[in-house]
Structure formats: structure tokens, C-alpha cells
Amino acid sequence: MKDILTLGIESSCDETSVSIVKNGREVLSNVINSQIKIHEKFGGVVPEIASRNHVEVISEVTKQSLKEAGKDINEIDLIACTYGPGLVGALLVGVSYGKALAYALNKPLIGTNHIKGHIAANYITHKELKPPFLCLIISGGHTHLVHIKDYNDFEILGKTRDDAIGEAFDKVARVIGLGYPGGPKVDKLAKEGEPNIELPKTHLDNLDFSFSGIKTAVINLHHKNPNVNKADLCASFEKTVTEILVQNTIKAARKLNINTIALAGGVSANSYIRKEFLNLEKTNNMKIYYPDPILCTDNAAMIASAGYYSYISGEISNLELNAVPNLKI
């Protein structure tokens, strides 16, 4: 069978990324231009600034990606671009660029769901991974427990009722003065602390999550006692949220009798969460997968992979594709 080269484009938030992926799983290049430094001083992503930066760099990122892959643009078979969920102005840059490329090259255009991209990051890191499995998507915008029945057949088993887990990490970091983005900073500081602070755990009777209670508890605790040990607070926060993630995942695995679990999304780069999930291999006889750290946060390789699997199951977009900021899985 002829190799299929997908050019993936990601611009849903503050990373402009273009990647070339062979046959859905082999990354030839994955160029990521992060705007973190630009947004850092505002304490979060400023949508208007994000869009303008995507426009400025997207052509250069594409050229660089083709160069690193050693491919000419005419060798590309498919164009996959993220069309949601995300910031509308930011998404529109990648969608417009993808449409222009697909039109000019006369190649299929695949509008790709960013959340499906996070799931597909696991296919790149783990060549043997195939559906069915359970995927826990934990990122700045999402907390979803999903049954991956097939490459393009998903069932959401549980999701957050309020904040995404990454938002909670970022908020905790902001409150205790660690800056943005908070997740990696909480991860680092927690290693120096002890999980000795009792924090509330919200148990819901289905497979949904809720993180607003613990987020508020951390904020109140810090206001009441600004001298609280920050490392202990980070360690306690991580331990509590991880217990919730693990409990729901075990519940879902038992319910569906599935022992293969994949983690995905920016928060799945967290070292404590990874360690606790890996323990389930011994304690619960599960097989745990997670993507390489560079594929956990936003990147275009995962979009190219998800786009490839949409293409082979016949899901092709037309040039009327538009950004859908609140796109569901």
C-alpha cells in the first residue's frame, strides 16, 4: 500500500504547530511554536494576541516542518487541521490556512477534533495500541473519560461538571504565586512537599468529575493562611485530584471490563499522575499508556494522526469547513 503523508495543523490555543506524519503513526516532523512567553505576563492566554501570532508564524512553521521532514509540499496526501474546540480566532487561522493548502494542492481536507487529537497522541508513542481502550483526557480545557470503541467510534463515559483539571492546576499555581502555565510548576514544587493537608474530594455517583470544590478550598486556605507551605499544598492538591481520577477510571474499567487505559492531554505529563496510574499495572492488572511528554501538550502530530484515521474511515471535510469553538467529541 502506498504511504499516506498527512500535514497536520494545530492552532486552537497558544501553540502554532505543523507536522508531517506518515501512515498516521510515524512522525517525520512536528514543529511547535509556543506563545507561552508572550502570554506569561498576562497570567493566561489573551485570545486576540494568540490569533495575531498564529497569523504571523504559520507560514514559517509550515516551511520548517516540510524542511525537517525532507518533503516537498506536493508530496503531501492530506491536510488535517484542528477546527474545534478552542478559541475561535485562533482556530480560524489554522482552518483558513488548511483550506487554502487543500484547495491549492487539490488534496482532501480533514477538519479534526482537537480532543480526538489528544487521544491519537497515544497511537504515535505506542505503535501497538489499538482500540478498544479507555482514555482519560486531562487538559487545560477538558476532563473526559472516554470509551474508544474504534478509531472513530467514541462514547463519553464521564466529564467534568465544572472546571477542567488543567484549569484547577493553573488556578492553584496562580493563587500561590507560581505563575502561568501552572501545571508544570505545581508538578515540580509538589516533589518537595508532603501531601499532609486535607482537601475536599467531590464524589459523584456517576463517572463525572468536579474540581471547583478543591480549587475553592485551596484558594480559601491560602487566603486564610498565606504562610501555608506551598510545596505541601501542591503535593496535597495533586494527591487529592489524582485519587479522583484513579477512582473513576477503575470504576469505568470494571463496568466495561476493559483493562487498557490511555492518558492524554497536557495534564497527563504530570509526574505524580503518571506514577499513580502506572501503579495500577501492578495493583489492578491494567495496562497503562501515555504519550511522550512533547505529544501530551498541544501539537500538530496528534492532529495529523487523528486526521489520518478520520480519512481512512471516510470522514472528509469540504471547503465550507468553519471553526467550532465548542465542538464536542
CA 240-246-256 angle, to 5 degrees, is 155
Binding mask 9-48 for ligand KG4 (x = CB under 6 A): ----x-----------------------------------
Is residue 218 within the footprint of ligand KG4 (CB under 6 A)? no
Q: Which is nearer to ligand KG4, 107 or 297 (CB)?
A: 297
In terms of DSSP bridges, do strands 109-113 and 15-22 run parallel, antiparallel, or are they unpaired? unpaired
Which among 252, 253, 259, 264 is positioned nearest to 290, based on CA atoms?
A: 264
Interface pick for ligand KG4 out of 43, 184, 213, 325 (rule CB under 6 A): 184
Contact predicate 61/300, CB 8 Å: no
Q: What residues pair up with 255 in beta bridges, in sequence order?
A: none
Least distance (Å) between residue 126 CB and ligand KG4: 18
Is residue 238 within the footprint of Zn ion (CB under 5 A)? no
If you count them, how many residues does the chain have?
A: 329
User: 179: left (phi > 0), else alpha (psi -120 to 50), else beta?
Assistant: left
Burial category of 254 from C-beta neighbours within 10 Å (exposed 0-12, middle 13-18, buried 19 and up)? exposed
- Cα 92 to Cα 39: distance, rounded to the nearest angstrom: 19
Is residue 182 within the footprint of ligand KG4 (CB under 6 A)? yes
- Cα 121 to Cα 214: distance, rounded to the nearest angstrom: 29
Site stretch for Zn ion (CB under 5 A), options 152-160, 197-205, 210-218, 297-305:
297-305
User: What, of Zn ion, ligand KG4, none, does residue 158 touch, CB below 5 to 8 Å by kind?
Assistant: none
Chain centroid offset of residue 254 CA: 25
Site stretch for ligand KG4 (CB under 6 A), options 1-9, 63-71, 177-185, 202-210:
177-185
Site stretch for ligand KG4 (CB under 6 A), options 181-189, 220-228, 240-248, 281-289:
181-189
Contact predicate 108/321, CB 8 Å: no
Is residue 140 within the footprint of ligand KG4 (CB under 6 A)? yes
- Cα 327 to Cα 189: distance, rounded to the nearest angstrom: 34
Interface pick for ligand KG4 out of 84, 94, 141, 158 (rule CB under 6 A): 141
- Whether the upstream peptide bond of residue 226 has omega within 30° of 0, thus cis, is no
Is residue 298 within the footprint of ligand KG4 (CB under 6 A)? yes
Q: Which is nearer to ligand KG4, 141 or 193 (CB)?
A: 141
Least distance (Å) between residue 273 CB and ligand KG4: 7
Interface pick for Zn ion out of 35, 139, 236, 310 (rule CB under 5 A): 139
User: What, of ligand KG4, Zn ion, none, does residue 8 touch, CB below 5 to 8 Å by kind?
Assistant: none
Interface pick for Zn ion out of 18, 91, 298, 304 (rule CB under 5 A): 298
Strands of 109-113's sheet in order across: 26-34, 15-22, 5-10, 78-84, 109-113
Is residue 195 within the footprint of ligand KG4 (CB under 6 A)? no
Contacts to Zn ion by CB under 5 A:
139, 298
Q: Where do contacts with ligand KG4 occur on this chain (CB under 6 A)?
A: 13, 139-141, 166, 169-170, 181-184, 187, 265-267, 269-270, 297-298
